[in-house]
Structure 1
Amino acid sequence: MTDGIVWLVDLEGWMSSVVFARGIAPEELAVRMGGTPDGATEPITDGEVEDLGAEWYRPGGYGDGVVRVGESAGWSFALEYGDSTGGDLLEEISRDGVEVVRYVPIQEHPPASVYYARDGVFLCGFGLREEVWRWGREPDLLLPDLAAAGVLAPDGRTCLPPEDEDYKTGYRRSLGVVERRFGLSLSPAFLDDARLPACAVRGAPRMTLSR
């Protein structure tokens, strides 16, 4: 495993989130996020998502949501686009012993955030550079890892990096903790020219390429 996920910090104007799941196939991940069995398109690139017959935003209403799914480093993953709410379904995705990690790549403020669920239970989550505020059934689950990486003091109530540190530097440090703890890796190729099947998880887009 060489790519890791820390590089995701530098992406801007990207999809709405990435969801990793261990214990189910990519096709099942899409279904648990709101897709239909056997509802995947032909494999498409990241750039071709914009060519699908989907409307991401509708004035006064909900837009369509789409995911592209694949597998990397022993985890299935879903790249969310548009008005997808599939990644919000952490308890559903993680039922029956499945582990789920979600990264929401918002820039600076509100911060990017990470969430972890297992076996139908949301265990912990926090904003990057706001790790003193943690939530979930086991909010301190990653506290030893965050303390070892110099993100938090062992008491979990004090941030160690300087307040004027560049936010991306802090993001990399914390996302590196998540990467190492769970063994996550995602090739940048999946956000370039690699082809993955896509599924609709919200709305009713045509899900055909407009060429």
Structure 2
Amino acid sequence: MGSARRAGGGDTPAGDAPGGGDGGPGIQWLAGWDGWFAGLTFARGIGPHQLAARLGAAPGVHPGPMGGSAAWSMAAETPDGDGVARVGRWGGWSFAVEHGIPAGADRLAEVSRAGAEAVHLDPQPDHPPKQFAYARDGELVCCFGLGEECWRGGHRPDFLLPELVAARILAPDGTCPHPDDEPCGPRERLTLAVLEARFALSLPRHLVEDAPLPAFVTRTR
């Protein structure tokens, strides 16, 4: 099954590998990873290069395959408002690892236009909590902070409420049944598990961290 999962940036379809339920990497590992500083944007229905374009890839600026360290160095040298996105495909989703300012935070509706779907995960290392957002067909459907699932936004803020209730993250009325001082680590993992299962999200750590992937400079304004 591993051979069907493309890590590169071409637009050739990849195998539809599910998340951690089949023993794959899933995304729950992000909750315990101290190195999660890059934003992650997933898109279904478009290829990796299309994803880069919808994230605002600068025309003609394509520095070639690079790992995470090189992308961070390039992001530090770009003008304010620009970032670097490394793109690929895994488990039926195109993905972008966004170094610097994540364009996916503001362009998610654009990424999902014309029948596509998009999920954005932003670690917010300098301004917690971590953020989740889901868009479909050009519209922001649902968004919330990990650990702040009781405060939900989007056109359908209760889109994931049944799953969050089933996981005992929220009460049936959408409020949080846990004390405010509850440790956030286990809670984040539970919420990531809900997202992993609902959207069949999966991404190995080495692709986020150091794999050489096609890279693009993205304009966020």
TM-score range relative to shorter protein: 0.7 to 0.9
Matched, 1:115 2:133: yes
- Preserved CA contact (<8 Å) 2:41 2:95: yes
Aligned residue in 1 for 2:12:
none
Q: Deviations over 1:143-181 (max 9, x none)?
A: 00000001001111x213343321111111111111110
Matched, 1:88 2:110: no
Matched, 1:167 2:189: no
Aligned residue in 1 for 2:196:
179
Alignment of 1:99-138 (within 5 A): 99-107=117-125, 110-138=128-156
Aligned residue in 2 for 1:200:
217
Q: TM-score, normalised by structure 2?
A: 0.82
Q: Secondary structure at the match of 1:161?
A: coil
In the TM superposition, what is the alpha-carbon distance from 1:20 to its structure 2 partner? 0.3
- Preserved CA contact (<8 Å) 2:43 2:94: yes
Matched, 1:150 2:151: no
RMSD: 2.1
CA separation of 1:103/1:53 partners in 2, compared to 1, >3 Å: closer, same or farther? closer
User: Distance between the aligned counterparts of 1:14 and 1:146, measured in 2?
Assistant: 23
CA separation of 1:25/1:37 partners in 2, compared to 1, >3 Å: closer, same or farther? farther
- Preserved CA contact (<8 Å) 1:8 1:105: no
Q: Secondary structure at the match of 1:89?
A: helix
Q: Deviations over 1:30-58 (max 9, x none)?
A: 000001466433211112213437525x7
User: Distance between the aligned counterparts of 2:59 and 2:127, measured in 1?
Assistant: 37
In the TM superposition, what is the alpha-carbon distance from 1:82 to its structure 2 partner? 1.3
Alignment: residue pair count:
198
Q: Deviations over 1:32-90 (max 9, x none)?
A: 0001466433211112213437525x7xxx24311000111100001111134343111
Query: 43, 58, 62: which one pairs with 1:21?
Result: 43
CA separation of 1:163/1:8 partners in 2, compared to 1, >3 Å: closer, same or farther? same
Matched, 1:189 2:206: yes
Aligned residue in 2 for 1:35:
57
In the TM superposition, what is the alpha-carbon distance from 1:129 to its structure 2 partner? 1.1
User: Distance between the aligned counterparts of 1:147 and 1:53, measured in 2?
Assistant: 39
Structure 2 gaps, min length 5: 1-18
Q: Deviations over 1:110-147 (max 9, x none)?
A: 31110000000001101111111111110000000000
Q: TM-score, normalised by structure 1?
A: 0.85
User: Distance between the aligned counterparts of 2:76 and 2:130, measured in 1?
Assistant: 26
Query: Residue 65 of structure 2 aligns to which amino acid in structure 1?
Result: P
Query: Residue 140 of structure 1 aligns to which amino acid in structure 2?
Result: D
